[in-house]
Chain A
């Protein structure tokens, strides 16, 4: 079924933006991570996410055909034009918060990419095939840390549990869909995110259990990122990320 290029492109932006925002968050750890090995890990995860985002943004630009390229999409869109999940724009906070955020997102991203390898959009399917494997490493890295923190000292347990309690209300948004999502699902391009929930549960539940952390009850879930309603954190992040292109338009390395 043919699809409106605008909807198709908007869907690709949703996928790209969550990765770009989380990738930038990871880069904020450079120079501040607890150990050199962990710094390399966080930076590499960020690199994977930004790489995936670049491919998706370039594809979104091609699909929309409105003359913008991947750089314009990344650096010249304002907060309300960003389509990322609210979970990933949360500030890094302490190390436990960064790890919990990464774990909750990667546990969704990995099965989600897997499902997208069957997309009728061949370019998207190719990006997804690579992203799925990279996400597998991200799930493993964050799981191992979460188990170590949760089942670690009294302080690391307390911090991990706090992060989990604070971030849980952002998890519902990952599985929601709206008209844009429905249109791309019908076109065979997108995946219904609600179908990813059982796989997410299957990754999250055993890890939390092993980490001796209490899985929070599903309560009120905040959402809005995918239609451009963001928390105050995204604007601050973009002002940093986009500074160069805003101050010196068109500047290149």
Chain B
């Protein structure tokens, strides 16, 4: 266990949090996915970690909070707390293009941008197969293995796959 001087704490905290990944999608860090909103020094001198939940009922949020605590403790930062912030609401638009590529390489079709509007309610989006790239896919179920995913099947290579839903 190392002890970090106060002025370096913020830098150390940020570095430590860069390694925290989403437990459901371990190829993405919580920064990649947009859950980690800010790391700052609070008025009380404690490190303040601001996170925003993805889906309201996402069961991974408890695990993520625990992983953040462990990462900070390991970096020698004992005084810290997590603030869960609801506004602005998390959206898949916060997933960076690089992170979308990581998702695709991992076998999850990344969210198709800007399909969250009510106008898209009764229309379906075109989701490309993350394995073979074909646009000929079909939705098997709107709800998949986690809150944030839908289940699709590729009609070209016949592989089933997860699609990260827009929200």
Contact = CB atoms under 8 A, between A and B. Distances in A.
A40 B151 CA distance: 10
A137 B89 contact: no
Contacts of A110: 118
> Taking chain A's interface residues, is the majority helix, strand, or loop, or is none over half, making it mixed?
helix
B29 interface: no
A48 interface: yes
Given A44-B143, A47-B147, A123-B86, A130 B56 contact: yes
Nearest to A143: B122
Nearest to A42: B143
Nearest to B120: A136
Contacts of B122: 140, 143
Nearest to B146: A44
Contacts of B143: 37, 40-41, 43-45, 137, 141
B86 A127 contact: yes
A140 B167 CA distance: 14
A134 B55 contact: yes
Contact of A133 (B140, B151, B167): B167
B121 A129 contact: no
Contacts of A137: 142-143, 165
Given A123-B86, A126-B88, A48 B121 contact: no
Contacts of B23: none
Given A38-B141, A48-B147, A123-B86, A140 B57 contact: no
A52 B57 contact: yes
B76 interface: no
B140 A37 contact: yes
B121 A136 contact: yes
Contact of A47 (B57, B90, B167): B57
B121 A52 contact: no
Interface string A117-155: 000001101110111011011011101100000000000
Contacts of A134: 55-56, 167
Interface of A: 37-38, 40-41, 43-45, 47-52, 54-55, 110, 122-123, 125-127, 129-131, 133-134, 136-137, 139-141, 143-144
